[in-house]
C-alpha cells in the first residue's frame, strides 16, 4: 500500500469492539492490554458489527478492527467437502477466531464473511468443555485453525497453549493446526504430542510474494519447521492450494526440492496436496472483492458446486507435484485432495 | 460527490459560507445547497426527517460508489468535562427507541475526539436519576445512518457532531449554533475532502475502448446474455494475466454480424485461446 494511502487509514486494531458480556473476561482483558491506545466500543452482539450490510472488505483488510465476542453453540461443524479428512470419519472444525491477519488471494474467507474485521471468541473454555463432552462419546479429528491462522494470532490470544494442554490430557482427540506462521513460542515450551498435527502450508516464493500477502517467506516457514523438528515434532507439509501460474511446474518442482532436501524425511509426518478449489458462492463474492485478481478470474470449471481447474489440468498438476515428492518420501505419506494417478 | 445532511438552517449556514454553496432552486422538497463537489440538505429536526432527506439526496445524487455522506450538526453531552464547541466523530449510534446500534467503519485516520451517540425522539432537557447518559445525544443520527447504509458502505458514511450544550439546549441560540459549527468547519471539511476521493488502488480493469470492443464483439457474434458475461470474465482473465485484449478480439471486430450458431462457434474459439494460450 502506498505510504500516502496508509496515512489516510487508522492503524490495525485501532478500535476494539467488545460484547458487554465479555468485558470482564480474562482473555478480553489480556487482549485489550496489548492495545492501550485503542478505542474500546461496547456492543451487544458481535454480529451487529461483523454482519453489517454492504461492508468494504477490501478497505477493512487494510485497517482491520478487533471484535471480542462469546462463541455460542454449535461450537463444532463438520469439515467441508473441499477439505482433506485424511481418512478420519469424525472430521470436525472449530473456529475460535473468524478471519485472518494474512491476506492470501486464494482465501475463501472474503467469500464466507462480509467483513474483514477479526472476531475472537474469548470463551475458549466453553469450546474446550464441549469437545471434552464429545470425546466421552467418540474420538475426534478436529481442525482448530480453519477460518483463521491461529498461530499468527497466538501472541494475542494464547489459544494454542490451551489447545495443546487440552490435547495432552485427551488422547482420543486428534488435533490439526494448519498455519503459515513463523511464531512457535507456545509450541517450543512443551514436549511434542503424537495427537497434535502441526501442518505448514508451503508454496514457491513466487506464489508467496504474489498471492500470499503478509505471510512469512518460504525460508522463514522452513526455518520454523526445522526448529520444531529438532524439538521432536513430526510436521505435516501442505502444498495446497497448488496454483496454475505460468511457471507453476518449474516453481513447484524447485520448491519441493528445496523443501525436502532441507527437512529430514523422518520428521515429516505426511504431505497433503490439493489444487485451488472454492465453493461457487464464495468465488463469486471473492471475485467482486478482487476484480483485479488473475488468480480468481481464471476460467475455472464448476464441478458439484465447486470451482476448480479442469480435471486434466488438475491431474497434470497433482501428478507432477506428487512425482517430485515421491523422490524423497514414500507414496503412503502423500495425501491428495482429488484426482491423482 | 460529498453529501451533507444537517437538521437546521443554523447548522447549514456555516457550510454554505465556508464552501460557497448556492441554493438549488429546482428542488423544493427540502432546502438544498450545492457546488460542484458538495451538496447539502436541510432535513428538519428528527430521525425520520433525517432519513428522508438522506434517502432523497442519495437516490438523486449518488452517481458512483465513491460518494461520501456526512451527517453534521450539534448535540448535547452528558460529559461536562468536554466543552461546548468540541467536534466529535461518532463511532457508535444507538437509537434510544429501538435500542438498535449502528456502527460507521472507523478506518479513516482523523484529528477528532471520538464518542458514542444516542438518538432520541424528543429533546432531552434534564437528566433524571433514571437516565445514565455520559455520552452524546442528538435527534437525527440513527435515522440518517439507517437510510445511508442502504446506499453506501459504512466507511463512506460519517457522523460528526459538535457539542452545543450539556443537556441545557434551551440556552443555546441559533447564532451560537452557527458559530460553534463555523469554528470546526475547516478541519471537518478538510478531512472529508481528503478521504472522500480515495479509491485505494481499485481502478477499473478495462479501459473505455476495451469495453466498447467487447460490446461490438458481443453484437457481431450475437452472444446471449450469459455468453456476454462469460466473454467479459474471459477478457478480464486474459488482460490480468498479461494478454492483449484488442489482439484477442481483433478478428471479430470488423466482421459482419454472424448467425447465432456461427457466433457460438467463434465464441468457443475465443474461450479456447484464453484457456490454452
Ligand atoms: S493464511 Fe489461510 S486463513 Fe489466512 S488469509 Fe491465508 S488462506 Fe486465508
ipTM score for this prediction? 0.91
In this structure, the answer to whether residues B168 and B252 fall within a common structural domain is no
Q: Which residues of A touch B240 (CB under 8 A)?
A: 292-294, 297
In this structure, the answer to whether residues B92 and B113 fall within a common structural domain is yes
Q: Which residues of B touch A59 (CB under 8 A)?
A: 105, 107, 153, 155, 200
In this structure, the answer to whether residues B153 and B269 fall within a common structural domain is no
What confidence tens digit (pLDDT) does each residue in A17-74 have?
A: 999 999 999 999 999 999 999 999 999 999 999 999 899 999 999 999 999 999 999 9
In this structure, the answer to whether residues B172 and B256 fall within a common structural domain is no
* pLDDT score, position A81: 63
In this structure, the answer to whether residues B165 and B53 fall within a common structural domain is yes
DSSP string of B210-277, one letter each residue: HHHHHHHHHHHTT--HHHHHHHHHHHHHHHHTT--HHHHHGGGTSSPP--HHHHHHHHHHHHHHHH--
Q: Which whole-number Å values give the CA distances from A145 to A181, B11, B14, B66, in the listed order?
A: 12, 51, 53, 36
In this structure, the answer to whether residues B86 and B114 fall within a common structural domain is yes
Q: Which of B178, B201, B224 is the last residue of a domain?
A: B201
User: Rounded distance, CA A42 to CA B116, Å?
Assistant: 10
Specify the 3-state DSSP secondary structure of A80.
Answer: coil
How remote is the C-alpha of A144 from its chain's centroid? 9
For residue A321, give the DSSP letter.
H
Residue B8's domain is classified under what CATH number? Answer: 3.40.50.1580
Q: What is the mean pLDDT of residues A184-205?
A: 94
What confidence tens digit (pLDDT) does each residue in A303-321 have?
A: 999 999 999 999 999 999 9
Q: What angle do CA A263, A267, A271 make, to 5 degrees?
A: 80
In this structure, the answer to whether residues B153 and B49 fall within a common structural domain is yes
Q: What is the mean pLDDT of residues A82-96?
A: 76
In this structure, the answer to whether residues B143 and B251 fall within a common structural domain is no
Q: Which residues of A touch B116 (CB under 8 A)?
A: 41
Structural domains of chain B, count: 2
* pLDDT score, position B130: 44
How remote is the C-alpha of B237 from its chain's centroid? 30
Whether residue A341 has pLDDT greater than 90: no
In this structure, the answer to whether residues B50 and B24 fall within a common structural domain is yes
Question: Residue B37: which domain range?
Answer: 2-201
Q: Which one of A14, A54, A293 has the shortest CB-CB distance to B106?
A: A14
* pLDDT score, position A83: 63
In this structure, the answer to whether residues B94 and B231 fall within a common structural domain is no
Q: Residue B25 CB: number of other CB atoms within 10 A?
A: 7
User: Rounded distance, CA B188 to CA A67, Å?
Assistant: 28
Q: Which one of B105, B156, B198 has the shortest CB-CB distance to A60?
A: B105
User: Rounded distance, CA A264 to CA A278, Å?
Assistant: 33
Whether residue A339 has pLDDT greater than 60: no
User: Rounded distance, CA B15 to CA B181, Å?
Assistant: 8
Under a CB-based contact definition with an 8 Å cutoff, are residues A214 and A103 in contact?
Answer: yes
Q: How far is the first Cα of chain B from the last one, in angstroms, to the nearest whole number?
A: 43
Under a CB-based contact definition with an 8 Å cutoff, are residues B43 and B10 in contact?
Answer: no
Whether the CA torsion B138, B142, B144, B149 is positive or negative: it is positive
User: Rounded distance, CA A94 to CA A30, Å?
Assistant: 22
In this structure, the answer to whether residues B192 and B247 fall within a common structural domain is no
Ligand 1 pocket at CB < 6 A: A 100, 102-104, 107, 109, 148-149, 180
Under a CB-based contact definition with an 8 Å cutoff, are residues A200 and A161 in contact?
Answer: no
Shortest distance between the Cα of B137 and any Cα of chain A, in A, equals 17
What confidence tens digit (pLDDT) does each residue in A103-149 have?
A: 999 999 999 999 999 999 999 999 999 999 999 999 999 999 989 99
CB neighbour list of residue A300: distance below 8 Å, 6 or more residues apart: A276, A283, A307, A308, A309
DSSP string of A186-231, one letter each residue: HHHTS---TTEEEEEE---HHHHHHHEETSPPHHHHHHHHHHHHHT
Ligand 1 centre to CA of A193 (Å) is 25
Q: Which of B154, B174, B201 is the last residue of a domain?
A: B201
Q: Which of B150, B179, B201 is the last residue of a domain?
A: B201
Whether the CA torsion B244, B246, B252, B257 is positive or negative: it is positive
The structure's pTM equals 0.93
Q: What is the mean pLDDT of residues A227-251?
A: 97
Shortest distance between the Cα of B142 and any Cα of chain A, in A, equals 14
Whether residue A277 has pLDDT greater than 90: yes
Q: What is the 3-state secondary structure (H, E, C) of B59-125?
A: HHHCCCCCCEEEEEEEEEECCCCCCCCCEEEEEEEEECCCCCEECCCCCECCCCEEEEEEECCCCCC
Per-chain mean pLDDT for chain A: 94
In this structure, the answer to whether residues B108 and B220 fall within a common structural domain is no
User: Rounded distance, CA B157 to CA B196, Å?
Assistant: 10
* pLDDT score, position B135: 82
Query: Which residue positions in chain B have pLDDT lower than 70?
Result: 63-65, 125-134, 169, 201
Shortest distance between the Cα of B275 and any Cα of chain A, in A, equals 7
Amino acid at each position: 500500500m502506498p505510504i500516502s494511502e496508509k496515512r489516510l487509514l487508522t492503524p490495525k486494531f485501532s478500535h476494539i469492539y467488545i460484547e458487554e458480556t465479555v468485558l470482564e473476561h480474562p482473555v478480553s482483558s489480556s487482549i485489550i492490554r496489548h492495545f492501550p491506545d485503542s478505542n474500546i466500543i461496547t456492543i451487544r452482539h458481535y454480529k451487529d458489527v461483523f454482519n453489517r450490510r454492504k461492508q468494504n472488505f477490501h478497505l477493512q483488510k487494510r485497517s482491520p478492527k478487533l471484535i471480542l465476542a462469546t462463541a455460542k453453540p454449535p461450537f463444532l461443524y463438520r469439515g467441508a467437502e473441499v477439505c482433506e479428512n485424511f481418512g478420519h470419519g469424525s472430521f470436525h472444525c472449530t473456529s475460535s477466531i473468524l478471519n485472518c491477519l494474512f491476506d492470501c488471494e486464494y482465501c475463501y474467507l472474503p467469500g464466507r464473511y462480509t467483513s474483514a474485521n477479526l472476531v475472537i471468541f474469548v470463551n475458549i473454555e466453553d469450546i474446550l468443555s464441549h469437545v471434552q463432552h464429545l470425546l466421552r462419546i467418540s474420538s475426534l479429528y478436529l481442525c482448530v485453525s480453519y477460518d483463521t491462522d491461529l498461530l499468527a494470532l497466538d501472541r494475542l490470544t494464547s489459544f494454542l497453549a490451551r489447545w495443546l494442554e487440552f490435547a495432552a490430557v485427551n488422547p482420543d482427540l486428534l488435533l490439526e493446526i494448519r498455519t503459515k506462521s513463523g511464531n512457535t513460542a507456545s509450541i517450543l515450551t512443551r514436549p511434542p504430542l503424537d495427537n497434535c498435527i502441526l501442518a505448514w502450508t508451503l508454496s514457491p516464493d513466487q506464489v508467496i510474494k504474489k498471492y500470499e500477502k503478509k505471510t512469512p517467506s518460504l525460508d522463514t516457514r522452513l526455518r520454523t519447521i526445522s526448529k520444531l523438528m529438532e524439538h521432536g515434532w513430526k510436521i505435516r507439509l501442505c502444498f495446497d492450494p497448488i496454483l496454475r501460474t505460468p511457471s507453476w511446474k518449474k516453481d513447484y518442482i524447485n520448491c519441493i526440492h528445496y523443501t525436502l532436501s532441507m527437512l529430514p524425511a523422518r520428521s515429516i509426518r505426511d504431505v497433503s496436496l490439493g489444487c485451488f478449489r472454492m465453493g461457487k458462492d464464495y468465488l463469486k463474492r471473492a471475485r467482486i472483492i478482487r476484480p483485479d485478481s488473475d488468480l480468481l478470474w481464471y476460467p475455472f470449471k464448476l464441478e458439484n458446486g465447486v470451482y476448480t481447474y479442469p480435471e486434466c489440468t488438475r491431474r497434470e498438476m497433482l501428478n507432477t507435484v506428487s512425482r517430485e515428492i515421491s523422490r524423497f518420501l514414500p507414496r503412503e505419506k502423500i495425501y491428495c485432495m482429488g484426482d491423482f494417478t | 460527490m460529498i453529501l451533507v445532511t444537517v437538521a437546521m438552517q443554523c447548522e447549514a449556514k456555516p457550510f454554505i459560507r465556508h464552501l460557497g454553496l448556492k441554493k438549488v432552486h429546482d428542488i423544493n422538497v427540502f432546502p438544498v445547497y450545492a457546488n460542484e463537489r458538495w451538496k447539502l440538505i436541510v432535513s428538519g429536526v428528527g430521525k425520520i426527517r433525517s432519513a428522508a432527506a438522506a434517502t432523497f439526496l442519495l437516490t438523486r445524487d449518488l452517481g458512483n460508489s465513491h460518494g461520501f455522506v456526512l451527517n453534521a450538526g450539534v448535540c448535547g453531552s452528558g460529559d461536562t468535562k468536554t466543552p461546548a464547541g468540541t467536534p466529535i466523530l461518532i463511532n457508535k449510534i444507538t437509537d434510544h427507541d429501538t435500542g438498535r446500534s449502528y456502527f460507521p467503519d472507523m478506518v479513516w485516520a482523523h484529528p477528532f475526539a471520538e464518542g458514542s451517540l444516542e438518538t432520541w425522539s424528543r429533546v432531552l432537557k434534564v437528566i433524571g436519576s433514571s437516565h445514565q447518559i455520559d455520552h452524546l445525544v442528538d435527534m437525527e443520527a440513527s435515522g440518517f445512518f439507517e437510510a445511508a447504509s442502504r446506499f453506501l458502505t459504512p466507511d463512506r458514511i460519517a457522523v460528526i457532531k459538535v457539542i452545543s450544550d450539556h443537556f441545557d439546549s434551551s440556552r443555546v441560540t441559533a447564532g451560537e449554533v452557527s458559530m460553534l459549527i463555523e469554528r470546526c468547519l475547516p478541519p471537518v471539511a478538510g478531512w472529508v475532502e481528503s478521504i472522500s476521493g480515495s479509491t485505494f488502488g481499485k481502478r477499473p480493469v478495462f479501459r473505455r475502448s476495451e469495453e466498447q470492443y467487447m460490446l461490438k464483439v458481443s453484437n457481431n457474434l450475437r452472444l446471449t446474455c450469459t455468453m456476454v458475461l462469460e466473454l467479459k470474465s474471459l477478457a478480464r482473465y486474459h488482460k490480468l494475466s498479461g494478454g492483449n485484449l484488442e489482439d484477442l478480439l481483433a478478428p471479430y471486430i470488423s466482421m459482419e454480424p454472424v448467425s447465432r450458431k456461427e457466433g457460438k462457434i467463434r465464441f468457443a474459439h475465443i474461450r479456447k485461446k484464453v484457456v490454452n494460450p
